[in-house]
Each structure stands twice: as structure tokens, then as C-alpha cells.
Amino acid sequence: MRARMFWIFLAVSIAGGACGCMTLANSPVIQDKLKMVSAGYTGCMPEENVLTNVAPKPDGSGTWNATCKGKTYLCSTISTTSSSQSYHCAPVAQ
């Protein structure tokens, strides 16, 4: 449930970002969470991951890119139950 709320708040914030306000996607808390999740797949420490293309969806799923040491990964999350989230990242074909 918390993960779903995270993505809902992120989606609302991005929509609100059109007004020039800071979005939750840029929030240090959100960035830290996505960097931590990405670290297990990139093999880099969380602070080494650079995030781009953060794209949450209202249903709790979402995607983002994590780049570290010249390699880019496509990461995604889906809600597997009302209180569980599944995360995956894979190298982007170049």
C-alpha cells in the first residue's frame, strides 16, 4: 500500500510540476528509494546511480532509468498485492 501511495503522490506531483513547482520525483526521499532499489541491479552504490525518465502511473506501477559507470538500466515496479511491490532492472540494449 505504501508503495502504491508513493507512485500516486509521485504522479500527482509530476502533473503539478507543470506549474513550475518541485515534483516528488525530485524529492530526495524518492530519489534515495529509487537509487537504493536500482543499486541491487546496477552493482553500484546507491549514490552512484543517476536517475532519469522517472515515469510513475496511477496504478502503482512505474519506470525509470538508472545510469552508473557508463551503463544504463531500465527499471520498473509493479504492485503485486495491496501491500507489496516488485522491482526489476535490466541493462538497456545499446
Residue 7 CA, chain-centre distance (Å), reads 9
Say which residue, 39 or 8, is predicted with more confidence.
39
pLDDT computed for residue 81 by the predictor = 75
Q: Give, in order, the Cα–Cα distances in Å from 62 to each of 14, 19, 53, 69, 71.
A: 13, 22, 10, 23, 20
Sheet strands (E) in the chain: 50-56, 62-68, 71-81, 84-91
Q: Name the phi and psi angles at 71, rounded to 5.
A: -110, 140
Q: Using one digit for the tens of pLDDT, what is the confidence trace for 38-74?
A: 999 999 999 999 999 999 888 878 899 999 999 999 9
Determine the Cα–Cα distance for residues 46 and 38; give it in Å rounded to an integer: 7
